[in-house]
Structure 1
Amino acid sequence: MGFLALPLSNGWSFKDRDDDSSDAWMPVPAIPSTVQQDLIANKRLEDPYVGFNELKAQWVNEKSWVYRTELKKPDIPDGAKVVIVFDGLDTFASVTLNGHSILTSSNMFIGNRVDVTKLLLESEAPHLLEIEFDCAQQKARELRKNCPDHKWEGFNGEMSRLAVRKAQYHWGWDWGPVIMTAGIWRDVRLEVYSARISDLWPQTELDHSRKTATIIATAEINTAVAGYYTADFFLSLRGEGIAHQKFLVQIDSTKNVEAKFQVKNPELWWPHGYGSQTLYDISVSVSGAPGQELHKLSKNFGIRSAEVIQQPDKHGKSFFFRINGQDIFCGGSCWIPADNLLPSITRERYRKWIALMVNGGQTMVRVWGGGIYEDNAFYEACDEMGVLVWQDFMFACGNYPVWPELLESIQQEATYNICRLRHHPSIVIYVGNNEDYQVQEQTNITYNYDDKDPESWLKTDFPARYIYEKLLPDAVAKLSPTTFYHPGSPWGDGKNTADPTVGDIHQWNVWHGTQEKYQIFDTLGGRFNSELGMEAFPHLSTIKSFVENESDMFPQSHVMDFHNKADGHERRLMTYLVENLRIATDLETHIYLTQVVQAETMMFGYRGWRRQWGNDRQCGGALLWQINDCWPTISWAIVDYFQRPKPAYYTVKRVMEPIVVGVCREHHDWSVVHARPPTKTKYEIWVASSLREVQNGTLELRFLSVANGQSIRPPSVYNVTIPANGSATIVSDGIIDHLTHPEPYVLAVRLWIDGRVVARDVDWPQPFKYLDFADRGLVVKAENGIKSGEQILTINALRPVKCLVFEERDGVQISDSAMDIMPGDQQTVTVSGLTGSELPLKYRYLGQ
């Protein structure tokens, strides 16, 4: 017989373990699921994302749950095995079949396989499969209590979480609720086979010239019956066969079979914007003696080289990514799980998230260490669309304990997930943890970088160092040796994690920390800025999804604050609002103003760091916190839970275009000088490019009055050479003379190449609250585009317009938003996905 997989997705029921009432058992709509989803389906729980329902759902966190189903014995040929496969059990799971214990699991992040052949052969009757999920919250507290000598230190959630291999954000974070899920959160199935391919690992070696690639494909084959088997390997590209190798092997139980292929002039895999996302296919089939195919497994992979370049230079030590010999500025985002109820994230939803990143010009996504090793669909989308993946291991913001059983579980977790993920070309770095070294620093836990004896680390009050600097790097070196490993984020060769000269840093001195002005964000960066952010409200439609009463639709309502989990969010957000903008009390305007602040913050940071990429790679990249939300909330996300982009999404998109231009006057800190205006201000202009060829263009600088839009001095025009994959300063010593021209005016630059405007930028007098934006003379005209459901918006203004934002509608895509519109510079926006009956998009701008 061949390989047979039988999904066990239907026919389940569940109950509160301690409920013995006659109606305790409830039907489960489908597996995978969580207990919360199943309770909602049975009308035993209200949607925890609405109003204060998170509090009403807390009782679920404190319970243990039981799931059960009846298995029908499949046809089992002589010599075949039957295995139950659990791709994910959340988290403390005890599994019985016909009353016999077959599995005990305590790690959410690993899959399990159990041979049940003997139990199923004992009888023909339906077989009862039962899974008891012990309360993770209570188990965590017990484990902590049993380890009193450990220093239970960390940020976010209760520290007992550190004892449990469960998604840490389930204990609540500064952007998410406390929802302790339990259940069969990934697929479960029966597999019947006499032989199976348990793993297929395509390793690629690209020679220095990138003209030849060696593919080493290793297949692990399991058999139920010892004997001779044939392994056929096929290498193909776009459905066309390239090479084939066949092996006759004797297998007693498990054997690795290896095939090696040479590929001349390979088509390389590139991040989007740098080349194609070519994926080869490697497949292997195993056949028995008569030639009958018993099992076949295929994987897509890419041929590419990936390096992290860390070399001493005048700034300290570099930290940037080089793909196929090409230096890549990695502008992108950090990623948290896209839902608290993980099984609700569909393949289509994953793909839309990655498409949003690609359309937003983002090159890299960082899978954050307090969530999960993501679903296969996530990485497949990154492979296919060309988004580089920075993959954290699942440790976040804490001093983790390391008793032997826990270390063994972590070893299994690392092995399972590296083997599952290592064929994805998008994954270019594994990182040991998120901010655990910061916890060590801030709580004065011992860390002697010069001590290189791993066994001694286990005896210190920072034993988790053993995980990050021994266990995990050893696992990566063994299982995915060509992938770079970095001990933590942030981390820099054992120096202070805030050191901007080495490694990566989390730059939170805007918003957190010293709460610096966002106008100087770029001066706060490091060699690689792997976290940074600014909060903003989501769109009004998203707020309406969780605010039940109209009386709560104001910025400071109780339910609004409840859906913002960030410590001190009231004073932090209002500090940035009051320093920069005229405050409003109506909700729609307040939403917009917070979004303006977020958009400006991201622009100042990314624009400056893109310039610092330069030719000496002072800054290797920036990953904003965060691209997404796990529930409808007020957070740092630049796209909200319902995948509705905030204005910051578009400002980052513009700064990540292949060619950009920047203009910026020096920061005049009005709060320090008591609003005394300067007499003179310096300004600079620069260009940056990610293209491989030098470009020549023409740059125009205009000086436009904010009040009337007129030029207050003649424009300046420059013939510019734009370096390949770098940046160049065009003007370094420009002067604004405020005595000669005391009225506020903008510096507006446009860059032409071959008669076409390819980039724009505008520098405004700061702060915006001092400016009068009345009567802008804005005109937006809509015409039907060539495609069905497409509109072309033509935009003009008589006076400078700040942050023109278009309404976000589900299913409607906007090519640009959060725009600055200058007199005499018509811009267009393409809107797609509209239906004929829909009204034109609403819009607003600063001061409207």
Structure 2
Amino acid sequence: MASTKHILDQGWTFQQSNGSSDDWLPVQKFPTQVHLDLLANNKIPDPFNDLNELAVQWVAEKDWTYKVQFPKPPPPASDEPLITDVVFEGLDTFATVLLNGKEILKSDNMFLSHRVEISDLLEDNNTLEIKFDSALLKGRQLVEEHKHEHTFYVRQTEVGRVPVRKAQYNWGWDWGPILMTAGPWRPIYLEQYVSRIDDVWMHYEVSEDLKICSGRIFAKVAGASRKSIVLSVTLGGTTVWEKECAIDSDGLAKTEFRIDNPELWYPFGYGQQDRYQLKATITADDEKVKLIGFRRSELIQEKDEFGKSFYFRINGIDVFAGGSCWIPADSFLSQISPQRYYDWVKLLVEGNQHMLRIWGGGIYEDDNLFDACDELGVLVWHDFQFACASYPTYPSYLASVEQEARQNLRRLRSHPSIVIWAGNNEDYQVQERYHLDYNYEDKDPQSWLKSSFPARYTYEYLLPKIVKEEDPFMIYHPSSPWGDGKHTTDKTVGDIHQWNIWHGAMNRYQETYMLSGRFISEFGMEAYPHLETIRDMIRVPEQQHPGSMMMDFRNKAIDHERRMITYVAENFLVKYDLPSYTHLTQVVQAETMHFAYKTWRREWGKPGARKCGGVLVWQLNDCWPTMSWAVVDYYLVKKPAFYAIADALKPLAVGVSRVYHEWTAGHADPTLPAKDTKFDLWIDHAIPVVSSQLTDQPFDLTKYEPYVIHAIVKEDERVIATDNAWPQPLKYLDFSDREVKFKASSTDKIIISSTRPVKGFVFEETRQTKLSDNGFDLIPGEEKTVGVSGVTLDSLRYTYIGAPEGQLKVAFATSEGSWTTSVASLVSKITS
């Protein structure tokens, strides 16, 4: 007989633990977390609005109990003994579970799922009760209990998070609120069976010539003993390999397999995302199926003239890993729908982003996210869940870590999109900051346990050992950033987090050419979201302006206003009304993305000399409505920076850059940027980098005219790629009288042109607006066509640098007039 599931998602109630019998409140949607239920029952204000995050802090200090009643499931017809399990896919975090008053489970790890047999405990009517203790208070208690065996160092919020195996961002981060969740955050169900296929998986390798896929296939069976199981691999309904295998006394079946000339899984743009069905079958109604993809994945780390390379090769093709870092998409994980995950991944493809890095302070992400990455062809870098701390290694902690690592590797190892696991996020920076013990030449794991940085044992011994056992052909990297034991800022080896833009030295974004590395797995620039999001998260009109109490409270980045205003004021004339300042921050972020991705992509180079193997912006998304480094906001509304990245990561990209001249250092000559005639022009698409120089022109030092360099690549008059190089800083330029014009080519396309060069043209986006492009420059003599859906063309609002107001409404001219303008000395155009 097939196993049957009974989902327990109806009839739940909850209360603060030890409340009275009258205190139970209904749970409206399941799975859930306690803030969502309190909000639905009008017991707290919305934590995402105004200062309400402060008003709900008390929730974290309380214990909470959830309860459901259910009848005993009717037994299916079977002559064999029936087993009934209750399955908890995720309990957040310190949970004690009782069935009919009897304790059946105690859990202290949010990242684990649990299966408990309850066959002999079921009654005609049953009560399942789950008590969740305060993770905030338990964390502090654990620090106190283990303070004599471990010194808890932490960056970002309090040390109480470190010994707790829970999503670390719940304690707050420099982009997210302190919202300490509790509750049954993933599904709970009963499962009845005589026998059950617990799992089916494979360990495979694709040969170097890509003509053979071979390895081993495994299946694990629970319940009544079965003698054999059929394992098969199919593609498009055609069986390409099949074998009946014996099941041993432990319920394990295994066999070797080989498939010739396999159809491979590729990142999007490089080939198809072919996936096979891996199936284990006992009977026609007792089988388990997984979608798998075959690909040869390599991390190329070879010595070269720049140090040691770091880039990915998929099926023999070198792939520049341009993309983003990912944080949890919500402060309340249980409310992220499968469609929302899919929509996020679609944005990556739309933005030409080939890699998503799952950051180590969140969760082992949901299968729906990886299903979408598999389907759409997005590569995934996944951190193990440790971030910005010195983690302990006492025995019970390590046992829990091992269990979570194995369980999540087993859950996720079939996804072809996942190409690398990294041990943690920035924990070696904590080691460096606090001068904790680290001798790279010491290769004895037992000695690491006795050092002041015992987590090295986890990252360099335990986790790689587990990865090798559970997914033997998977790439493992001890940390992000990491470079063979060298300092985490070493730009010659491994990956780096380049935070000398925004943090650190606060380099100008024009200086990205000095800040490269072998692989930049983090860098970023903050920006406000669009106005609709700002006005939605801050409901008090008097607080809807830069520098207000609520605006400052909303931005969690340390020293955020002084950093943001520095980058804005260095580059633009500052307007401090909300629409104008919002626009300026967005253009700063977009310009940073433009300089960084174009500059570092140029260093992709050629085989044997790939100076930079990838660039991942911090960050793609937000967990709540806020201003942050995200290039797309909580509501999936894209900031102009998203489009700047998409442009820089086109299959064929053109770049043009000018010589960098300092403009504020002591006696620097601020006229040099506009007078210098040198520039570089390059194309990235397996085409050699070329340089060029404008024809020398005499300049009158007292009467010079700045110009924009415009590069364009066309094929049969079709524009494939463009780039612009403006004199820096932009604030020295006269942006008046741009003469922007509009016309509609259809109901869903708008054409924009201008008489003079325009910088940072931005349409105001909303949750309804869908645009094909935004945040672009306008060049005289050319028309920019933008696809629009979700709103009418005449309802669009826009602005640009130097616009007469914060926002303008699109107006169409009654007659088109002439759209051709002589660019003269305003623009020097290079056509390639």
- Are residues 1:775 and 2:737 paired? yes
SS for the counterpart of 2:507 is: coil
Q: Distance in 2 between matches of 1:778 and 1:386?
A: 39
2:108 paired residue among 89, 106, 109: 106
Read off the aligned partner of 1:246 and give its amino acid letter. Answer: E
Question: Cα RMSD (Å) of the superposition?
Answer: 1.7
User: Mapping of 1:447-458 within 5 angstroms?
Assistant: 447-458=438-449
User: Aligned residue for 1:285?
Assistant: 281
1:136-173 Cα offsets, whole Å, 9 max, x none, are 00100000011223221121010110010000000000
Read off the aligned partner of 1:370 and give its amino acid letter. Answer: G
Is the contact made by 1:35 and 1:183 (CA closer than 8 Å) also made in structure 2? yes
Q: Distance in 2 between matches of 1:174 and 1:736?
A: 49
- Are residues 1:163 and 2:163 paired? yes
- Are residues 1:396 and 2:357 paired? no
Q: Distance in 2 between matches of 1:734 and 1:569?
A: 43
Q: Distance in 1 between matches of 2:785 and 2:543?
A: 38
Is the contact made by 2:448 and 2:454 (CA closer than 8 Å) also made in structure 1? yes
CA-CA distance at 1:675 after TM superposition? 5.0
User: Aligned residue for 2:826?
Assistant: none
Q: Distance in 2 between matches of 1:237 and 1:622?
A: 34
CA-CA distance at 1:559 after TM superposition? 0.5
Could you say if the C-alpha distance between residues 412 and 737 of structure 1 is closer, same or farther in structure 2, counting changes exceeding 3 Å? farther
CA-CA distance at 1:745 after TM superposition? 0.8
With 738-747 and 53-62 compared, the bigger mean Cα shift is at 738-747
1:68-93 Cα offsets, whole Å, 9 max, x none, are 11232123454121111111000001
User: Aligned residue for 2:267?
Assistant: 271
Could you say if the C-alpha distance between residues 558 and 675 of structure 1 is closer, same or farther in structure 2, counting changes exceeding 3 Å? farther
Read off the aligned partner of 1:182 and give its amino acid letter. Answer: A
Is the contact made by 1:511 and 1:533 (CA closer than 8 Å) also made in structure 2? yes
CA-CA distance at 1:296 after TM superposition? 1.4
User: Aligned residue for 1:23?
Assistant: 22
User: Aligned residue for 1:185?
Assistant: 185
With 212-221 and 62-71 compared, the bigger mean Cα shift is at 212-221
- Are residues 1:472 and 2:463 paired? yes
1:217-274 Cα offsets, whole Å, 9 max, x none, are 2111112x33x44412232223343333223x3554x322124443332221111111
CA-CA distance at 1:204 after TM superposition? 2.8
Could you say if the C-alpha distance between residues 838 and 686 of structure 1 is closer, same or farther in structure 2, counting changes exceeding 3 Å? closer
User: Aligned residue for 2:710?
Assistant: 748
User: Aligned residue for 1:175?
Assistant: 175
CA-CA distance at 1:359 after TM superposition? 0.1
User: Aligned residue for 2:691?
Assistant: 730
SS for the counterpart of 1:241 is: strand
Read off the aligned partner of 2:742 and give its amino acid letter. Answer: V
Read off the aligned partner of 1:747 and give its amino acid letter. Answer: I
User: Aligned residue for 2:758?
Assistant: 801
User: Mapping of 1:46-195 within 5 angstroms?
Assistant: 46-76=45-75, 77=78, 78-120=80-122, 123-124=123-124, 126-149=125-148, 150-195=150-195
- Are residues 1:305 and 2:305 paired? no
Is the contact made by 1:678 and 1:738 (CA closer than 8 Å) also made in structure 2? no
SS for the counterpart of 1:455 is: helix
User: Aligned residue for 1:633?
Assistant: 626
- Are residues 1:550 and 2:546 paired? no
SS for the counterpart of 1:410 is: helix
Read off the aligned partner of 1:686 and give its amino acid letter. Answer: L
User: Aligned residue for 1:705?
Assistant: none
Q: Distance in 2 between matches of 1:416 and 1:735?
A: 65
- Are residues 1:844 and 2:806 paired? no
Q: Distance in 2 between matches of 1:843 and 1:781?
A: 14
CA-CA distance at 1:553 after TM superposition? 1.2
CA-CA distance at 1:548 after TM superposition? 1.4
User: Mapping of 1:303-702 within 5 angstroms?
Assistant: 303-615=294-606, 616-672=609-665, 673-674=667-668, 676-678=670-672, 681=676, 683-690=678-685
Could you say if the C-alpha distance between residues 643 and 147 of structure 1 is closer, same or farther in structure 2, counting changes exceeding 3 Å? same
Q: Distance in 2 between matches of 1:109 and 1:814?
A: 38
Q: Distance in 2 between matches of 1:57 and 1:674?
A: 52
Q: Distance in 1 between matches of 2:696 and 2:399?
A: 64
- Are residues 1:818 and 2:812 paired? no
Q: Distance in 1 between matches of 2:590 and 2:376?
A: 25
Q: Distance in 1 between matches of 2:569 and 2:729?
A: 10
Q: Distance in 2 between matches of 1:57 and 1:414?
A: 32
Is the contact made by 1:750 and 1:761 (CA closer than 8 Å) also made in structure 2? yes
CA-CA distance at 1:577 after TM superposition? 0.8
Read off the aligned partner of 2:726 and give its amino acid letter. Answer: W
User: Mapping of 1:227-238 within 5 angstroms?
Assistant: 228-238=226-236
CA-CA distance at 1:613 after TM superposition? 0.4
Q: Distance in 1 between matches of 2:147 and 2:254?
A: 49
Is the contact made by 2:247 and 2:253 (CA closer than 8 Å) also made in structure 1? no
With 528-537 and 35-44 compared, the bigger mean Cα shift is at 35-44
Provide the TM-score with structure 2 as the length reference.
0.93
Mind listing any 5+ residue stretches in structure 2 that lack a counterpart?
804-832
User: Aligned residue for 1:258?
Assistant: 254
User: Aligned residue for 2:242?
Assistant: 244
1:10-47 Cα offsets, whole Å, 9 max, x none, are 11111100322x42111111321001111111111111
Read off the aligned partner of 2:269 and give its amino acid letter. Answer: G
SS for the counterpart of 1:810 is: coil
Is the contact made by 1:196 and 1:294 (CA closer than 8 Å) also made in structure 2? no
Q: Distance in 1 between matches of 2:87 and 2:696?
A: 69
CA-CA distance at 1:521 after TM superposition? 1.4
Q: Which structure is higher in strand share?
A: 1
Is the contact made by 2:207 and 2:296 (CA closer than 8 Å) also made in structure 1? no
1:750-806 Cα offsets, whole Å, 9 max, x none, are 12234432111110011111111111122121222xxxxx61222221111111112
CA-CA distance at 1:838 after TM superposition? 6.8
Is the contact made by 1:661 and 1:749 (CA closer than 8 Å) also made in structure 2? yes
Q: Distance in 2 between matches of 1:80 and 1:429?
A: 41
Could you say if the C-alpha distance between residues 359 and 736 of structure 1 is closer, same or farther in structure 2, counting changes exceeding 3 Å? farther
SS for the counterpart of 1:281 is: strand
SS for the counterpart of 1:131 is: strand
Is the contact made by 2:139 and 2:161 (CA closer than 8 Å) also made in structure 1? yes
With 237-246 and 816-825 compared, the bigger mean Cα shift is at 237-246
Is the contact made by 1:339 and 1:631 (CA closer than 8 Å) also made in structure 2? yes
Could you say if the C-alpha distance between residues 732 and 267 of structure 1 is closer, same or farther in structure 2, counting changes exceeding 3 Å? farther
Paired-residue identity, %: 47
Mind listing any 5+ residue stretches in structure 1 that lack a counterpart?
288-292, 691-721, 785-789
Could you say if the C-alpha distance between residues 360 and 259 of structure 1 is closer, same or farther in structure 2, counting changes exceeding 3 Å? same
SS for the counterpart of 2:371 is: helix
Could you say if the C-alpha distance between residues 215 and 5 of structure 1 is closer, same or farther in structure 2, counting changes exceeding 3 Å? farther
CA-CA distance at 1:194 after TM superposition? 1.0
Q: Distance in 2 between matches of 1:52 and 1:156?
A: 20
Q: Distance in 2 between matches of 1:392 and 1:82?
A: 35
Is the contact made by 1:213 and 1:263 (CA closer than 8 Å) also made in structure 2? yes
User: Aligned residue for 2:38?
Assistant: 39
CA-CA distance at 1:674 after TM superposition? 4.5
Is the contact made by 1:270 and 1:323 (CA closer than 8 Å) also made in structure 2? yes
Q: Distance in 2 between matches of 1:627 and 1:688?
A: 26
Q: Distance in 1 between matches of 2:773 and 2:3?
A: 50
Is the contact made by 1:82 and 1:117 (CA closer than 8 Å) also made in structure 2? yes
Q: Distance in 1 between matches of 2:536 and 2:357?
A: 28
Could you say if the C-alpha distance between residues 736 and 98 of structure 1 is closer, same or farther in structure 2, counting changes exceeding 3 Å? farther
Could you say if the C-alpha distance between residues 494 and 103 of structure 1 is closer, same or farther in structure 2, counting changes exceeding 3 Å? same
Alignment length (residue pairs)? 794
Q: Distance in 1 between matches of 2:693 and 2:86?
A: 67
1:402-447 Cα offsets, whole Å, 9 max, x none, are 1100000000010000011111000010000000000110111111
